[in-house]
Amino acid sequence: MTSQKVIDYLSSNQDKHLDDLVEFLKIPSISAIASHHDDIEKAALFLESELSSLNLKTEIIRTEGNPLVYAETEQLENRKTLLFYGHYDVQPTDPLELWNSEPFNPLIKDGIIYARGSSDDKGQLYSHLKAVEAYVKTGTPIPVNIKMIFEGEEECGGHTIYEYTENNPDKLKCDAVIVSDTSLYNEDTPAICYSLKGLAFMEIRVKGPSQDLHSGSYGGTVQNPGNAICEIVANLKDTNSRVLIPGFYDDVIELEEDERASFKSLNYTEDTLRADTGSPGPFGEKGYTTLERMWARPTCDVNGIFSGYTGEGAKTIIPSTATAKVSMRLVPNQDPDKIASSFISYVKSICPPGLDIEVENLHNAQSVMVPRNGAMMKAGANAMEAGFGKYPVFIREGGSIPIVGTFQSSLKAPVLLLGYGLPNDNIHSPNEKYHLDNYYKGILTTAHLLSFASTVE
């Protein structure tokens, strides 16, 4: 049973918890843009300061990359240990003109906070600190050993946390890893995610003329990198959205019947997809439903493409270069390295003549599958029920949280993906938001988890 003092503290300190979150969100800790280096440092120090104030033994772990923030309670024998993970870095904000408020000047309106990082992942990781705060400030003993580690390179594909986890499995040893960087199934339905997709992120660069050419003087005489990049990308998939890279589907674990039935019971409709995305309609691999495509089928998508003149009006040039960023979302048992290598060979083989081509594997992530019936998984589900008032559904996610795979393999502990966000929180997009109700319920969930996990056999 969770202490009533803790629960009461949380309900009477919501305004304070919101004010604190606003301060955290004001720090523009964009890891992908070098000029925000100082903000990364500032966000790490912000966490260190708050964790120290909760009497946790706290350290900033200096690495070649962005700092890790680590904290732990006293580690007592014969009780469970939970490792909490999150990331304090955020996505870039462009296109800035589509934001209705400033990304780093949080706007609170109708029970929602709008800011970059509010849902992904500052708001969610911060829940764990506020749950600990409730125990500490009310003098309630925390019944489990807590470890917390927060990184600053999640949004830019950095390697620091991976190397640190692989090199320090004893320090991070635990009975379960808690990651809150996903979402509820919908506003009324809490969820635990038991499978994540992997990722192979590729960049294709083709180069033709040494500089942009006058398209009148030279059009039709040399290969146009802009046309060529389109030809390459167009040949990555067939018209049924089947990926054409050789061997792409060889290792895919097909969906089990009970999973397909469970997904179907969620009644995800075309209208919901339209409302969630603003897209004119569903489109994807033939033979699968939208949820199956989203959660359990591998994909291949352009994330960015550019070549030549992109300003207003006309400029008649043959571009010198063209670049496409393409990511493949991979499902359990697909090996990102193998897929990336197959992608590179295939793309080079279909590159039109008269060009130089480079294909780079920018970064990879392993897919993840957590058994749905473990005891810690049950404790997590019960905590969500206590926090959100409803027993969670078990879902998958199309996104990747690469560190989850590393936690599983290095720490040999189950990873509980207790997501407090919403699918339409606009993460990675303009007007990212976080519902305050979910923020408070998330804190309560973590507070319950500290109690429930302590009784797991």
Question: 165, 329, 304: which is closest to 241 by C-alpha?
Answer: 329
Site string for a copy of itself, 364-393 (x = CB under 8 A): ------------------------------
Residues that bind a copy of itself (rule: CB under 8 A) add up to a total of 104
Site for a copy of itself contains 244 (CB under 8 A): no
Site for a copy of itself contains 349 (CB under 8 A): no
Site for a copy of itself contains 184 (CB under 8 A): no
Considering only 7, 18, 22, 32, the residue that binds a copy of itself (CB under 8 A) is 32
368 membership: H or E segment, kind and range: strand 368-369
Is the Cβ of residue 2 or residue 152 nearer to a copy of itself in the bound state?
Answer: 152
Q: Which stretch binds a copy of itself (CB under 8 A): 6-14, 20-28, 347-355, 405-413?
A: 347-355
Site for a copy of itself contains 254 (CB under 8 A): no
Let me know the angle formed at the C-alpha of 438 by 57 and 405, rounded to the nearest 5 degrees: 60
Residue 10 contacts by C-beta under 8 Å, 6 or more apart in sequence?
A: 17, 130, 131, 134, 440, 443, 444, 447
Is the Cβ of residue 208 or residue 387 nearer to a copy of itself in the bound state?
Answer: 208
| Single-letter amino acid, residue 226 | G
> Do 359 and 344 meet the contact criterion of CB atoms below 8 Å apart?
yes
Site for a copy of itself contains 269 (CB under 8 A): no
DSSP state of 247: T
Q: CA 267 to CA 263: how far, in whole Å?
A: 8
Considering only 5, 159, 173, 237, the residue that binds a copy of itself (CB under 8 A) is 237
Site for a copy of itself contains 314 (CB under 8 A): yes
Considering only 397, 418, 419, 445, the residue that binds a copy of itself (CB under 8 A) is 397
Site string for a copy of itself, 428-457 (x = CB under 8 A): xxxx--------------------------
Residue 42 contacts by C-beta under 8 Å, 6 or more apart in sequence?
A: 27, 29
Q: String of b and e for 143-155 (b: at least 16 CB within 10 Å)?
A: bbbbbbbbbbbbb
Site for a copy of itself contains 253 (CB under 8 A): no
Considering only 363, 433, 435, 441, the residue that binds a copy of itself (CB under 8 A) is 363
Q: Rounded to the nearest whole angstrom, what is the least distance from the CB of residue 149 to a copy of itself in the complex? A: 22
Question: 412, 413, 437, 417: which is closest to 425 by C-alpha?
Answer: 437
Is the Cβ of residue 272 or residue 341 nearer to a copy of itself in the bound state?
Answer: 272
Question: 124, 125, 115: which is closest to 426 by C-alpha?
Answer: 115
Q: CA 297 to CA 232: how far, in whole Å?
A: 22
Q: Which stretch binds a copy of itself (CB under 8 A): 1-9, 56-64, 101-109, 197-205?
A: 197-205
Is the Cβ of residue 60 or residue 230 nearer to a copy of itself in the bound state?
Answer: 230
Is the Cβ of residue 284 or residue 332 nearer to a copy of itself in the bound state?
Answer: 284
Site for a copy of itself contains 355 (CB under 8 A): yes
Say if residue 430 is exposed, middle or buried (CB neighbours under 10 Å; 0-12, 13-18, 19+).
middle
Collapsing DSSP to helix, strand or coil, 349 comes out as: helix
Q: Rounded to the nearest whole angstrom, what is the least distance from the CB of residue 327 to a copy of itself in the complex? A: 5
Site string for a copy of itself, 52-71 (x = CB under 8 A): --------------------
Q: Rounded to the nearest whole angstrom, what is the least distance from the CB of residue 432 to a copy of itself in the complex? A: 11
Site for a copy of itself contains 191 (CB under 8 A): no
DSSP state of 36: G
Site string for a copy of itself, 140-179 (x = CB under 8 A): ----------------xx----------------------
CA 107, 448, 126, 65 torsion-angle sign: negative
**Beta-carbon count within 10 A of 51 CB:** 22
| Pairing of β 321-330 and β 415-418 | unpaired
